[in-house]
Amino acid sequence: MTESGGSARRRRRSRRRSRARVRRVLLVGLVVVSVLLAAGGWVGFRGWQARAHLLNAAGLAQELSTQVVGGDVARAQRTLAALQEQAAAARGATGDPAWWLGQQAPYAGDDLAAVRQIAVAVDDLARLAFPTLLRLDLASLVPKEGKLDLGRLRGASAELSVADQAVRRNGERLRAVSTDDLVGQVRDAVAGLRTELDRLGELTAAADQGARLLPALLGADGPRSYLLVSQNPAELRATGGMFGAHAVLRAEGGRIRMSGQASAGSLRSFDPPLPVSEEMRRLWKDLPGTFPADVNLSPDFPTAAALYREMVRRRTGTAVDGVLAVDPLVLSYLLGVLGPVTVPGRPSLAGSSVVRTLLSDAYRTLDNKAQDSYFAQAASAVFDALFTRAVNPRSLLTVFNRSITERRILFWSVHPTEQRVLGDSQLAGKLREKDTVPTVGVFLNDGSGAKLGYYLRFSATVTVGDCQPDGRRELRLRVTVHSTAPKSGLAESVTGLALSGDPYTARTFVSVYSPTGGAVLGGRLDGRDTAMGSGTAGSRQVTVANVEVKPGRTRTLDVTLLTGTTSAGTAELVLTPTVTPWTTQVVSAPSCDQ
């Protein structure tokens, strides 16, 4: 009995201890759940606050942009103060311990982390980038009475560098945010801010580069000279158009003058040819080193510029510090700001008509030599007006930004340190050494020996396809070429050598460059297999197709490519700038990580 009774008592004590443990577990669980619920409610409240502040900041940022472009500095200062207040509040609302705890939670954690990155980015821009851009005197970036104030420009360099670093740093942070599992509103906000930062980054990078480079380029440390080259897209080349004429620019102490105009034809051909790389020879033989008109069969502007500079040096003895290339559309954009410009002995040039005047009308009345002279005179007259007329600096900087974005202004320096500052920027005119996003290049070279490029219209679509087992991704490229040329009535200077066999049939060599580390799998022209040349350019594969188009007809080239190893669901296009801008589309797909 005693033993049995003791056993019963032990069982009762054990049950009481078990119930106590259960009560403690339940109590602790209740406390934890209560804390989490409270934190969730607090995070929800703070999220509502952050959303309100971010929406206000977005509206203020748009107002600020309009006011800066419009030159309303007083209102812009007030708007910036309000933007900084809202951005700081959004950053504060997403920076407390409860928000951090929420970021560790499943499902909603990724969204909270992304909102935090948005708030940090907006606050950084409001404190570090926008004030600098607002303080910057844009007039210091453009010539006044033929001279640029190099002292003021150098004074702005340090601030511009800080602003550019802030933009790039936050752009990198946002690119590192995975959007695959985010809710729609947050995903759209991240994508939208990435786009805006990319646009802003182009401006701050260009301003930073300009402030660092321009003083030396414009003779702050001694006289400089450059070739100003006119690219003629009526006869297409990969960088834009055949080098038709050039002039010598001389710079000293921020003042620029122009002298020594000549045509590319005056340089004649070179035998033996100038040396070119084996990669280039496999694609274009010795043509780039033989003929000045063919130095830019490759889309790599530094290579073309160095070849052309050496040709000028050998023929004239003039050794310049760099090469600046522009095309007639740049002149049209500048004339829209400067107003009409007179060319001695020729009709006045106006922004709305200069492209037609130079690339169409001139061929009806001038021979080849006179055309080259006219192009050089036109470029000289426009740049003389740029250096001497009073212009709106904001309008002028908008023109330069547009021209550089469209790859219509290209620059190469013989000085390696300056070239390194240019890097892979659009102004440098080269494909990146390594893609950040899979990039397809489509570059055009005339094969007719004619000036029919004025009548050609181009479109390109890249469709992102399947993910491959080896980590690559398939891309499908479609390029269309349409000819608006008449069937008769063009001058012989337009129809030229008629290498296609028909004076009115345009022959274009379309070069397709794969993404870095990628490959070209094959191509079809109008749905049929077609012979294509092949080669390489660094880590990119290249294929070249001959596309001949009769007046009023359209041809379609389809090329299948592979990327390098990537999870990206999008792609980029880099194109030869043409008389009429390309029609382009990128059809994206989900990331391979999904």
pLDDT tens digits for 206-243?
777 778 888 889 898 999 999 999 999 999 999 999 99
The answer to whether residues 463 and 550 belong to one domain is yes
pLDDT band at 99; cut points 50, 70, 90: low
**What is the predicted pLDDT for the residue at 139?**
63
Mean pLDDT throughout 520-533? 95
Residues 6+ apart with CB under 8 A from 291: 269, 270
**Cα dist from 264 to 307, 369, 370, 452, 515, whole Å:** 12, 10, 12, 19, 33
Report how far residue 342's alpha carbon sits from residue 324's, in angstroms, rounded to the nearest whole number.
23
The answer to whether residues 499 and 571 belong to one domain is yes
Distance of CA 183 to the CA centre of its chain: 29
Lowest-pLDDT range of 227-236, 331-340, 366-375: 366-375
Mean pLDDT throughout 574-594? 93
Mean pLDDT throughout 378-395? 82
Report how far residue 552's alpha carbon sits from residue 504's, in angstroms, rounded to the nearest whole number.
10
Question: Could you read off the pLDDT of 169-189 as tens digits, one per residue?
Answer: 877 877 777 777 676 766 777
Question: Considering the domain boundaries, does residue 260 fall inside one?
Answer: yes
Lowest-pLDDT range of 133-147, 253-267, 353-367: 133-147
The answer to whether residues 29 and 124 belong to one domain is yes
pLDDT band at 98; cut points 50, 70, 90: low
The answer to whether residues 480 and 374 belong to one domain is no
Domain final residue pick, 398, 421, 444: 421
Domain final residue pick, 395, 421, 447: 421
Q: CA-CA-CA-CA torsion for 386, 389, 391, 397, nearest 10 degrees?
A: 20
Here the CATH number for the domain that contains residue 374 is: 3.40.630
The answer to whether residues 38 and 128 belong to one domain is yes
Question: Considering the domain boundaries, does residue 426 fall inside one?
Answer: no
User: When comparing pLDDT for 370 and 342, which is higher?
Assistant: 342
**Which neighbouring-strand residues pair with 546?**
509
The answer to whether residues 110 and 176 belong to one domain is yes
Question: Considering the domain boundaries, does residue 517 fall inside one?
Answer: yes
Q: What is the residue range of 87's domain?
A: 13-217
The answer to whether residues 134 and 279 belong to one domain is no
Mean pLDDT throughout 561-576? 95
- Joined together, the tokens standing for residue 242 give 């055949």
**What is the predicted pLDDT for the residue at 26?**
38
The answer to whether residues 184 and 148 belong to one domain is yes
**What is the predicted pLDDT for the residue at 223?**
95
pLDDT band at 23; cut points 50, 70, 90: very low
Question: Considering the domain boundaries, does residue 25 fall inside one?
Answer: yes
CA atoms within 13 A on the CB side of 62: 6
Domain final residue pick, 189, 217, 245: 217
Report how far residue 439's alpha carbon sits from residue 240's, in angstroms, rounded to the nearest whole number.
19
Lowest-pLDDT range of 196-210, 305-319, 494-508: 196-210
Q: Tell me which amino acid residue 51 is.
A: R
Backbone angles phi, psi at 257, to 5 degrees: -140, 160
pLDDT band at 575; cut points 50, 70, 90: very high
The answer to whether residues 194 and 268 belong to one domain is no
**What is the pairing mode between strands 224-232 and 322-326?**
parallel
pLDDT band at 35; cut points 50, 70, 90: very low
Mean pLDDT throughout 71-99? 80
What is the number of domains present in the chain? Answer: 3
Here the CATH number for the domain that contains residue 442 is: 2.60.40
The answer to whether residues 58 and 132 belong to one domain is yes
The answer to whether residues 438 and 417 belong to one domain is no
The answer to whether residues 513 and 549 belong to one domain is yes
**What is the predicted pLDDT for the residue at 67?**
72
Question: Considering the domain boundaries, does residue 268 fall inside one?
Answer: yes
Question: Considering the domain boundaries, does residue 429 fall inside one?
Answer: no
Q: What is the mean pLDDT of the chain?
A: 84
Question: Considering the domain boundaries, does residue 212 fall inside one?
Answer: yes
**What is the predicted pLDDT for the residue at 475?**
98
